[in-house]
Structure 1
Amino acid sequence: MTTSDDRVGALFATHAARLFAYARRYGPPELAEDLVSDAFVVAVRRHGDLPDDTGEAYAWLVGTVRKIAANQRRRDASYDRYWREAVRTYWCAGTSESPELVIAERDACLSALANLSESDRDLLLLVAWDGLTPEQAGAALGISRHTLAVRLHRARQRLTLHLVPAPAAGAATASE
């Protein structure tokens, strides 16, 4: 008599590589590895739902990867929507600035932040928006102060690149 763990282990040995190839459709190798791993965790927890036939069990695992990937996409889309909404809603402006200038500045910052990676954006928002010190931000992210300083410097450089408007065609520069 085999246990459910033995059965899931046998399914893993038989189908993991093929399931990984399927999961690669949803993202880079590290995401595909997570999707496959998560699918087998679900298989262990729901072993009673696994079909007895090996081919049908593989199809069940493919469906599980598909559902996990869809949930991840929804979370990612929600995250993107929520950070934008929070910045847009809680944008603070100086009292002397016109509403038009405040909105233009806010929208330019939102656009620049949207062009950054999630990790760059999170780091910049932790320091500039949430007011954490570099030491606190490093602790929150689980990285050393030195690593945070390097990442923060690079993230600020990338943000600046996205904030600088491209010169209009034929426009003279200040150095000319």
Structure 2
Amino acid sequence: MDDDEAARFEAVYRETYDQIAAYAARRCDTPQDAADVVAETFTIAWRRVADLPPGQEARLWLYGVARKVLADHRRSTARQRLRSVELDAEIADLYGDSPGSSVELSVIGAVFRSLPDDDRELLSLVAWEGLGRDEIAAMLGLSRNAVRIRLYRARRRFSRALDEASVRFTAESRMISAGRVL
């Protein structure tokens, strides 16, 4: 790696670290898992610095890398959980609902988690990452129209699932079902 590539990586790292860290933190169960995902994402970027696209496309490329790292992380976590049933019970006890949490929000969260992975990812990219259709299309390697259709369907499935769970449509849950807040 030459000095220009190192400087380019450092610039991209400084510009995107907070966004990639937030992306991972919202999708991981623990801060340690998020840190591992971020570290692996930037390790891959370091190794593949020549593949980093120019300008703002680098951020979307990193989101794509983080998404794949996160998927690998989830598969690894699933394998570990299968081997450690006792640990799962302890984690469930530790991370259960707090006494002050709203039942409505916990139901909405459960409904959201019950959605297919692709639906959750699309809704999260809009609500949490604030990405537009063009940016999501670039990140996922899809056409803008495909993103528009998939996002429409994901929102509709989420809305139906909320209806089936008898979630009252307060202003907050309407925003959630519209994909503005998750």
Name the TM-score, length of structure 2 as normaliser.
Answer: 0.44
Relative contact order higher in (CA < 8 Å, ≥ 6 apart): 2
Name the TM-score, length of structure 1 as normaliser.
Answer: 0.45
Max radius of gyration: which structure?
1
